Amino acid sequence: LPTGVDEMERQNELLNAALEYAREGLYVFPLTPRGKTPLTAHGFKDATNDEEQVRAWWTETPDANIGIPCGSNGMFVVDLDVKNGKNGVDVWESLCKENGFSPDCHVFYSTPSNGRHLCYDDPEGIGRNTTDKIGSGIDTRGNGGYVVWPPSVTDDGEYAWIEYGEFPPIPSNLLSLLDAPV
């Protein structure tokens, strides 16, 4: 392939994905190319599903990654990190077993570090943002937080769907863990 074709395909993939998510009703916003920092003045608060605005953002910065605000999209995300000596995937499986809920989620994707993002339905915005509160290598993102969405890419690799469909409800036992004192 001629030089630049792969990068051009990546840019088209990001624009097309951002537009498709907007058509599905998801609010999206651009992040720095190969990064996680918002490119808009008000970050995730600027997110929209207006196709004209989405196209304008990705025309201005074709290689922008895709950000998804959790609250305005009515979702809660469990971020299982596998990096810096932590293995959130293994900790999650143990945590689920100990607390009586399934580690399986019908909507999830891999992160560049071989971690996972598990997506749950949260129309009431009750899920909170935490870091390592419920287990080492497990962060959560809810109202007031955002996540990087596939097919975004960083220098470490790509965010890629493993399974995508309707978001399941947050397990009540998981909510109890989030509310427990530290």
Place 2 in a pLDDT band, splitting at 50, 70 and 90.
very low
> For the chain, what percent of residues have pLDDT higher than 70?
95
Alpha-carbon gap, residue 28 to 128, rounded angstroms: 20
Quick check: 27 and 147 in contact, CB under 8 A?
no
Instruction: Quote the pLDDT of residue 129.
Output: 95
Give the pLDDT confidence of 4-27 residue by residue, as tens digits. 557 777 678 999 999 999 999 999
pLDDT band at 1 (very low <50, low <70, confident <90, very high): very low
Which pLDDT tens digit goes with each residue over 54-63?
A: 999 999 999 9
Torsion of CA 25, 29, 30, 34, to 10 degrees: -80
